[in-house]
Chains A and B, each alone.
Chain A
C-alpha cells in the first residue's frame, strides 16, 4: 500500500508507477507481433529478429486473404466459439449455481468427479477421445471442434466459486415470496453475477478460439479447419511462412482483444453501482 501513499508527493496516483511499466511489458509481444506482420520478407527472415520493420509491407495480409482460406477458418472458429460461449454460459452457470446453493444427494461426489476430470494430463486423453468421436461419426466436422466445448469442469468450478461469494439474503427473500429456484436464479442471481458471466465468457472465447491440439487430432477435412489449425500449416518442419503466420496471428488475436474490451465493460459497470442495495 506504499504505492497508494506516494500520491502525496507525486502529481498523479502512485498506482501508475506500478501499472504503466507492467502494462508496457505485457503489451510488448502484441506490439512486436503487429510490427512483424508488416515486415517485408527480408526483415522477417532476418537473424537475430528485428523489432522495427525497415519498411512497411502488406504482403503478409494480401497473401493471407488472397491465397489462403482464412475467411472460412474465421467463420468456422467463430461458429465454434459462439456455440461454446452460449453453451458455457447456460450450462456452467446452472451447474455452478446448483453446486453452490442447492442441496441434493450425491452433490459432493458429482462435483468431486467433475474436478477430478481435469487431473489426468490431457495429452494422453486425446487419442481415446478421438476414438470415441470417431465411433460417433463426429470427426472431420465442426461438431468435433465444438462438442468438447459445450461445458467444462473449469466453467462449473469457476461459477460455483463465484456464486459462493454472493450474499444469500436476496435469494432467501425471493424464495419466501414464492419464487421457484429457476426464477430466483434468473431474476436475482444472474444479474448479480454479470462480472462472473463476463469472466466465463471471455475465458471460453479464449479457450475455444485458440484451441489447437484437439482440432489437430480431430479434423483432417480442410473445409472444417479452424483458424489455429490453418495458421499452424504455415509452419512446416523445415520452412515457415513467417509473413503469413504473423499476419494471421494478428487477425486471430484482434477479435479476442475486442472481446476482452467488451467483457471488461461488465467489470467497470458494476463498479459504480454496487451489486447489493440494502
Chain B
C-alpha cells in the first residue's frame, strides 16, 4: 500500500509524456548531481514547508481525536478504533456517502465537459468576448450568501422562477429542492452554475499555450475543426485536465458550503453529504471524535479516487500520446 502511495504522484504528471513532436531524450541519469538535488529542493522547499507545515499538526490532532470520545469541550476519553467501527453500522453515514458519490459522478464529468466547451467558445475571436468571459465568471465571485438566497428563490416551489417557467410551458410543477428525489440533482445544477467558471478560466489559460503554428499546420494539412480539436487541442489540454479532474473530484467529495447555504441536508436528509454529515456530528451534536473518524474515511476514499484518476491518466497517457 505504502509503495503505491508513494509512487502515485509520478503519475499525476501524465502530461509529462509530451506529444511526439516535442519528445526529446531526457538528460542521462548520471548527470544528476548533488547540485541538481539542491536546486530541486531549493525550488520546492519554501512552498512545501508552508503547506505541509500548516497541515501536519492539524491532521495529526484530528487523527488523535478520531480515536477518542470527544466533544472538544469536556475531557475526552480514548476509545481506540471504536469510532471507525461505528461508521460501519451507521446507516445515515452510508446514505450520506451515497449522496456524495452520486453528486461526484454527476458533477465532475459535466463540469469538465462544460468547462472545455465554454473555454473553446470563449477563446474564439468573437465580438463581446470580454463581456461573455466576465459574465461566466460572475457566479464564481458572487458571495455565498447571495448565491444561497438566489438559489432558494429560483427553486422555491411556491414563488420560484423555475416553477413559473414550467407553468408557462404547461409542464407539471416540481418540488426541486423540496423533493427528495430531485434535490440532489438540483444541487448539481446550482453547483455547476457556480463552479464552471473555475474550469473555464483554467482551460482558457491552457488554450493559450497551444502554439498557433501547430493549429495552422493541421489546418493546412486539411484537418477540419473537429479533427483539430481531437488531435491538437485535446492532447494539449491533458495535463490540465488531470488537474481539473482531481481537483473537482476532491471538491465534490467534500461538498459542504452549498448544502449549508441552501438545503441544510433537507428534505428528509436527502441532501446530506458526507462532509455535511461529519460537520453536523462534530459541531452540532457534540460528536467530534466520530466526526474526525468520518473525516479520515473521506481522506482514504479521496486518496483512492485520486489514485484511480492518476492510474487512468497514466494508462491513457501511454496509449494516446
Chain A residues with CB under 8 Å of B143's CB are 33, 210, 228, 231, 249, 252-253
> A interface, how many residues as a size bin?
35 or more
Q: How many residues of B contact A (CB 8 A)?
A: 114
Would you call B302 and A257 a contact (CB within 8 A)? no
Would you call A199 and B50 a contact (CB within 8 A)? no
Chain B residues with CB under 8 Å of A114's CB are 48, 51-52
Would you call B202 and A19 a contact (CB within 8 A)? no
Most buried by A among B43, B59, B145, B250: B43
Would you call A195 and B205 a contact (CB within 8 A)? yes
Would you call A120 and B59 a contact (CB within 8 A)? yes
Most buried by A among B130, B159, B204, B291: B204
Chain B residues with CB under 8 Å of A125's CB are 55, 58-59, 62
Chain B residues with CB under 8 Å of A28's CB are 150
User: Interface digits, A105-137 against B, CB 8 Å rule (1 contact, 0 not)?
Assistant: 111111111111111111111011101100000
Would you call B147 and A29 a contact (CB within 8 A)? yes
State whether the Cβ of B93 lies closer than 8 Å to any Cβ in chain A.
no
State whether the Cβ of B220 lies closer than 8 Å to any Cβ in chain A.
no
> CB < 8 Å: which of A29, A106, A165 contacts B150?
A29
| Beta-carbon nearest neighbor of B114 in chain A | A22
- A223–chain B nearest beta-carbon distance, Å: 23
Would you call A161 and B15 a contact (CB within 8 A)? yes
Would you call B206 and A165 a contact (CB within 8 A)? yes
User: Interface digits, B192-216 against A, CB 8 Å rule (1 contact, 0 not)?
Assistant: 0100011001101110110111000
Would you call B239 and A164 a contact (CB within 8 A)? yes
State the CA gap A224–B266 with chains docked (Å).
36
Would you call A102 and B239 a contact (CB within 8 A)? no
State whether the Cβ of A166 lies closer than 8 Å to any Cβ in chain B.
yes
- A residues 1-52 with Cβ under 8 Å of B? 1, 3-4, 12-13, 15-16, 18-20, 22-30, 32-33, 48-49
> CB < 8 Å: which of B10, B62, B291 contacts A108?
B10
Would you call B43 and A97 a contact (CB within 8 A)? yes
Would you call B142 and A91 a contact (CB within 8 A)? no
> CB < 8 Å: which of B16, B61, B299 contacts A119?
B299
Q: Which of A53-61, A73-81, A268-276 contacts B (4 or more CB under 8 A)?
A: A268-276
Contacts A129-B58, A199-B205 hold; do A164 and B8 have CB atoms under 8 A apart?
A: no
Would you call B62 and A152 a contact (CB within 8 A)? no
| Beta-carbon nearest neighbor of A113 in chain B | B52
- B64–chain A nearest beta-carbon distance, Å: 9
Most buried by B among A124, A148, A196: A124
Would you call A271 and B208 a contact (CB within 8 A)? yes
In the A-B complex, the 9 residue pairs with the smallest Cβ-Cβ separation, listed nearest first, are A104-B40, A98-B43, A23-B135, A95-B47, A128-B61, A48-B159, A128-B58, A195-B205, A98-B44
A residues apposed to B, CB below 8 Å: 1, 3-4, 12-13, 15-16, 18-20, 22-30, 32-33, 48-49, 91-92, 94-95, 97-100, 102-125, 127-129, 131-132, 147-148, 150-158, 160-162, 164-169, 172, 180-181, 185, 192, 195-196, 198-199, 202-203, 206, 210, 212, 228, 231, 235, 245-246, 249, 252-253, 256-257, 260-261, 264, 266-268, 270-271, 274-276
